[in-house]
Structure 1
Amino acid sequence: MATDDEGTDDPIDILLVEPNPGDSRLFEEQFTDAKLLNTIHTVSDGDEALAFLHQRGEFAEDPRPDIVLLEPQLPGKSGIEVLSELKNDPVLNEIPVVVLTSSDAGEQVVRSHGLEADTYLQKPVEPEDFVEFVRSVEDFWFAIVQKSAE
């Protein structure tokens, strides 16, 4: 949830790019349980992610997301290719991207391609760890909102 200067809460649109349906479900449940005012849109591969971000095809009516949670290991077009396209597109490069890694090595792989995400968060392994993960995403979002308000 984002809070503007008047103190009103605006829902944020989150694009989750995650090929594992079980992880997607856990993400969605934890965001709902945390009672964050947001909408999570989930896609399972890089091609769908780009179609969503460019609002093409079946995603033409969907809003452009406020933040992208991106798993780098995707079927088809990789997360690295998605991140590259995002960072090189003047319309999309303002959208904060959180790369979801399973280890520190995942962050190094992304960086080895000369790309930089806005932040890297280690994806939880155990379901109970998703609560802390959701808080990390929320903290990152608030930091972005506060920084852009300055």
Structure 2
Amino acid sequence: MAAQVVDFDMALDSLSQSIAAKLGVDRALVKKLEQLEIDSEALVPFVHISTNVNVPISNGYGTYLSPRQTSWWRTFHGNAAITAPNDGTSWTIVAIDVVQNKTIFSGNGLVVGQKIPFSYKTGFNIQIKVDAQCSNPQENTTLVIHLDGDA
């Protein structure tokens, strides 16, 4: 018996069409959604962000979780910088978008005033989680990270 040759892309497209049909999604709707993503940056006005994120630190470690917000597929360009505490400690910081499970910015050995540049394209929604670890495992304080950028 001869083996049947199947074009993977055609099979995947056929499967996608079958799933879309069951969900009631047609090509016209998909095109509109794709165009919405393309046009979203033009539809939503320019935004400047300048805010502090306060991360409570207990025994050298802390986490901050923002509320979930609509972000309209915006791209944010900016910097993050530690502004406090100014006690000579260094920090490891990781900020992720929990909606997309992607890293926004991260840094190791960071000190007060050191900037972490970032550029991040959001999805329709964003929720930011910041994990911070201090070089001093006994540190109990509030880590203040200043975010400054444009979208």
Q: TM-score, normalised by structure 1?
A: 0.25
Higher helix residue share: 1
Q: Which structure has the larger Rg over C-alpha atoms?
A: 2
**Which structure is higher in strand share?**
2
